[in-house]
Chain A
């Protein structure tokens, strides 16, 4: 794969990273920790995308109010990703539909794609990190 890697101006290697999110938020710590890793990764100027599959699609729900469970409402933080130049957010159509959701239910703009499209995209990555 090395020969396919782009070189950026400073001579550093830019790799394609996919952060794959498969867990619902708030029930476990995976989603929040995963999001923090993504934000930190932004400091390294890599080609980063996020994919939401299975219960991971629930991370993007609008109308979240966590005041009753005494936890930080990190759903708002997904809207900060754009400012971190992380703009490629993919949702697997099958997972979204199995949960009765549509794009309008999400707090950020996403690209909805089929399993086959997402599988192909996953194959193109240099690194896949799953939370």
Chain B
């Protein structure tokens, strides 16, 4: 299993760069993962990342994109709960990129 160095800590990731142990995640790790994805983290990015972490802690899965947009629309309003907004924040796929930055496994149903 490959490892990456973040702030002096050695962290295991899988071959696609997702964290192996969710418990390794902290904001520094998220910043590192975001840089790897070439995503500049803003407040709006953090909002989605934190939403995903809450979703995971409640349901023990990373949501499919359709489910994510619907859930975000419900909580943060339709301006944010739509594909356009989420793809602007995470151009290579909100489910994949945001989940990776949030330290979650790759979403189930991500084809």
Q: Quick check: do A and B touch in the complex, using CB within 8 A?
A: yes
| Contact indicator per residue, chain B 41-78, by CB within 8 Å of chain A (1) or not (0) | 00000000000000000111101101100110000000
Q: A39-B108, A40-B108 are in contact. Are A83 and B60 (CB under 8 A)?
A: no
Partner of B109, one of A40, A73, A77, A79: A40
Q: How many A-B residue pairs have CB under 8 A?
A: 39
Partner of B64, one of A39, A72, A79: A39
Interface check B1, CB cutoff 8 A:
no
Query: In the complex, A80→B57 CA distance in Å?
Result: 11
Chain B residues, Cβ within 8 Å of A39:
61, 64, 108-109
Interface check A36, CB cutoff 8 A:
yes
Min Cβ gap B108→A in Å is: 5
Partner of B58, one of A42, A74, A76, A84: A76
Min Cβ gap A29→B in Å is: 15
Query: In the complex, A74→B60 CA distance in Å?
Result: 6
Query: In the complex, A54→B58 CA distance in Å?
Result: 27
Partner of A42, one of B59, B64, B71: B64
Query: In the complex, A40→B107 CA distance in Å?
Result: 10
- CB pair B60–A43 under 8 Å, yes or no, is no
- CB pair B71–A83 under 8 Å, yes or no, is yes
Chain B residues, Cβ within 8 Å of A80:
58-59, 61, 63, 67
Chain A residues, Cβ within 8 Å of B7:
none
| Contact indicator per residue, chain A 40-73, by CB within 8 Å of chain B (1) or not (0) | 1011000000000000000000000000000011
14 other contacts beyond A39-B64, A76-B58, A80-B61, with CB at 8 A cut-off? A36-B108, A39-B61, A39-B108, A40-B108, A73-B60, A74-B60, A76-B60, A77-B59, A77-B60, A79-B58, A79-B59, A80-B67, A83-B63, A84-B64
B-to-A contact residues, CB < 8 Å: 58-61, 63-64, 66-67, 70-71, 108-109, 111
A-to-B contact residues, CB < 8 Å: 36, 39-40, 42-43, 72-74, 76-77, 79-80, 83-84
